Amino acid sequence: MASSSFSFFFLTLLLLAVISAVTPCPPSERAALLAFKAALTEPYLGFFNTWNGTDCCGSWYGIACDPTTGHVTDVNLRGESQDPMFQKLGRSGYMTGTISPEICTLSNLTSLVVADWKGISGEIPACVTSLSSLRLLDLAGNCLTGQIPTDIGNIRSLSVLSLADNEISGEIPTSIVKLARLMHLDLSNNHLSGEIPYDFGKLRMLSRALLSGNQLTGSVPKSVSRMKRLADLDVSLNRLTGFIPVELGKMKVLSTLKLDGNSMTGPVPPTLLSNTGMGILNLSRNGFSGIIPDVFVADSYFMVLDLSFNNFSGRIPSSLSASKFMGHLDLSNNHLCGTIPIGSPFDHIDAASFSNNDCLCGNPLKTC
């Protein structure tokens, strides 16, 4: 009797395992994915051909589900991929159409990636802000228009937001500062206007803020200096004005700062040049003026230091020659004068890096 009971128990477990293995995703979620697919056209790779049958968790390309509940958790469709499907055809992806709001009915989504397809147009569905479990939203590299959803700050779990390389306009929503877990923000190469939110510094977890190639105005918020994990700040190629906040030079983690291609003015804070953690500093094509602070130290290690196309005057700082490393240095198109310092950081730098100043001389320019 005991043996019979054990056999029945074992068979029951086996049957449950088999049923679990073949349980399809919820019909409503399958319908949502098919509606999402219907709004898109992918003519070359044919991966949507795998989107058939009742189980969208099984072999549907780019779809992943929670193994316990069967709910769809990931939609991962990248047009630039190392997937063998792409390599076999020897081409990157191309897709047209729009992103259907039906995708928002997948309430358990943790990642939504529809990136680098070049031809997807239309607006970002406003309903994405209802996806409370979303941690990754990447819609970069398309032709999306319209504005960033006003309530983007409602996606409190979001850690990566990438909308770069689209045609998105309007202002950066003020609610964005509510994304307390955001670590990576890329809004570059769009048509965004208005000012960077004054309390941008509330994004304390942010390590990369990429806002270049837009039409942003106003100044760099002082609150940025409170972002203790920020390593990369790129606001180049905008219409920013005002001074560089002195506090930026005191940020210990910040290693890349790109302010080039704006209309900023004033002096360069000495702490920005003496900060030994700074590796890439591009201030070119602005209206900065005054002398270049003579504050470089033996631990200064610049892969890029570009101060070209400004209004700097005076001499080249002699302390530059004490720098540990100077990869790319460009001081051209200013009003500098005097002798170019001698030292290892200058040995490999050509004349173009010093050209179009008032009266510089010495190697690699003419003899003084």
Check which CATH number belongs to the domain holding 39 and give it.
3.80.10.10
pLDDT at residue 28, rounded to an integer: 95
Per-residue H/E/C for the chain? CHHHHHHHHHHHHHHHHHHHHHCCCCHHHHHHHHHHHHCEECCCCCHHHHCCCCCCCCCCCCEEECCCCCCEEEEEEECCCCCHHHHHHCCCCCEEEECCHHHHHCCCCCEEEEECCEEEECECCHHHHHCCCCCEEECCCCCCECECCCCHHHCCCCCEEECCCCCCEEECCHHHHHCCCCCEEECCCCEEEEECCCCHHHCCCCCEEECCCCEEECCCCHHHHHCCCCCEEECCCCCCCCCCCHHHHHCCCCCEEECCCCCCEECCCHHHHHCCCCCEEECCCCEEEEECCCCCCCCCEEEEEECCCCEEEECCCHHHHHCCEEEEEECCCCEEEEECCCCHHHCCCCHHHCCCCCEEECCCCCCC
Each residue's pLDDT tens digit, 174-195? 999 999 999 999 999 999 999 9
Is residue 238 a part of any domain in this protein?
Answer: yes
Percent of the chain with pLDDT over 70: 91
**Does residue 178 belong to any structural domain of this protein?**
yes
Residue 191 lies in a domain: yes
Q: Is residue 348 pLDDT above 60, yes or no?
A: yes
12 in a structural domain: no
Model confidence pLDDT, tens digit, residues 17-46:
443 444 578 999 999 999 999 999 999 888
Q: Is 139 part of a structural domain of the chain? A: yes
What pTM, to 2 d.p., does this model score?
0.91
pLDDT for res 3: 46
Domain assignment present for 367: no
Q: Give the pLDDT score at 22.
A: 46
Highest mean pLDDT (candidates 18-32, 56-70, 198-212, 316-330): 198-212
With cut-offs at 50, 70 and 90, classify the pLDDT of residue 84.
low
Give domain status of residue 10, yes or no: no
Average pLDDT over residues 247-265: 97
Number of structural domains found in the chain: 1
Range of the structural domain that residue 266 is part of: 27-361
Instruction: Answer whether residue 186 is part of any domain.
Output: yes
